[in-house]
Amino acid sequence: MPVRNDKIQINVKSTSMDAELFSDPSWDPSIKRPGVVLIHEIFGLNEDIRRIAGEIVAEGYVVLAVDLFSNQTKAICMARIFSKMLTSSTDHFAIDQLKQALTDLAKLEYVDEARLGAVGFCLGGSLALAWSTSDNRLRAIAPFYSFNPRPKEALSRACPIVGSFPASDVTAKSGRALEATLAQYEIAHDIKIYQGAKHSFFNSPSSKNYNAQATEDSWSRLLVFFAQHLASKTNE
């Protein structure tokens, strides 16, 4: 399936951020489709993220992949993000950037502003979780091997979440805590920890930690969950 990739700019206050918009050129532009913001891990917006974007597009979603490291030094950007995640992780500049990215995505004539979600990996998954606590436009998110926002009580405001975590990783503890917290606040969720899987198990099949079983199962769960909470027009 051909995938269209348009490079765009997200303007946030006095700064800007690069992003790439993925869609299917054969789509009827008069038909509004659900939109997903895709958030990379610490390796940035690379070919692996573009591959994942194409797979999401193949399922009928418009995808906006952000580049949080664009237009600034990667090391400095990462330090700023992680320092905030260790303190007040639900309110900082990266969340502002993601909110603006969602605003720009929702403005597209072929995107349904009532059906918006996010997918993130590691750093991106952690940001997606934090973001979900302060943006009610998000209908569902899918974090992979991520850390929970602080304070954890903020998750009482989160949207439905489908999360996937490797057992052989420090984030497994976060996954268990996430499931318990979402259950406490009666928020729809599907959290699974994969035995034998390591961090970045969803990366390219040629990568060291790729795990086919965990990848295939987590992808299937994501599609089912998004179909229920994000793709359906009747889920109001």
Half-sphere exposure of 114 (CA within 13 A, CB side): 6
Q: Is residue 103 part of a domain?
A: yes
pLDDT on residue 234: 43
Report pLDDT digits (tens) over 15-41.
Answer: 889 999 999 999 999 999 999 999 999
Report pLDDT digits (tens) over 49-94.
Answer: 999 999 999 999 999 999 999 876 555 556 566 555 655 566 778 8
How far the first Cα of the chain sits from its last, in Å, is 31
Lowest mean pLDDT among 1-15, 43-57, 134-148, 159-173: 1-15
| Structure tokens given for 96 | 């502002």
pLDDT on residue 85: 60
Residue 134 · residue 157 · CB < 8 Å: yes
Q: H or E element: which one contains 89?
A: none
CATH number of the domain that 172 lies in?
Answer: 3.40.50.1820
User: Degrees (nearest 5) of the Cα angle 51, 52, 57?
Assistant: 100
Domain count, the chain: 1
pLDDT on residue 190: 98
pLDDT on residue 236: 37
Report pLDDT digits (tens) over 186-227.
Answer: 999 999 999 999 999 999 999 999 999 999 999 999 999 999
Judged by DSSP in three states, 55 sits in helix
State the angle between helix axes of 74-85 and 123-132 in degrees (0 to 180), rounded to the nearest 10: 50
Q: Is residue 94 part of a domain?
A: yes
Q: Is residue 15 part of a domain?
A: yes
Structural domain span for residue 161: 4-231
Q: Is residue 236 part of a domain?
A: no
The fraction of the chain above a pLDDT of 90, given in percent, is 81
CA–CA distance, 134 with 127 (Å, rounded to integer): 11
Q: Which of 130, 146, 112 has its CA nearest to residue 40?
A: 146
Report pLDDT digits (tens) over 137-147.
Answer: 999 999 999 99
Q: Which of 65, 149, 103 has its CA nearest to residue 163?
A: 149
Report pLDDT digits (tens) over 179-188.
Answer: 999 999 999 9
Q: Does residue 87 or residue 130 have the better pLDDT?
A: 130
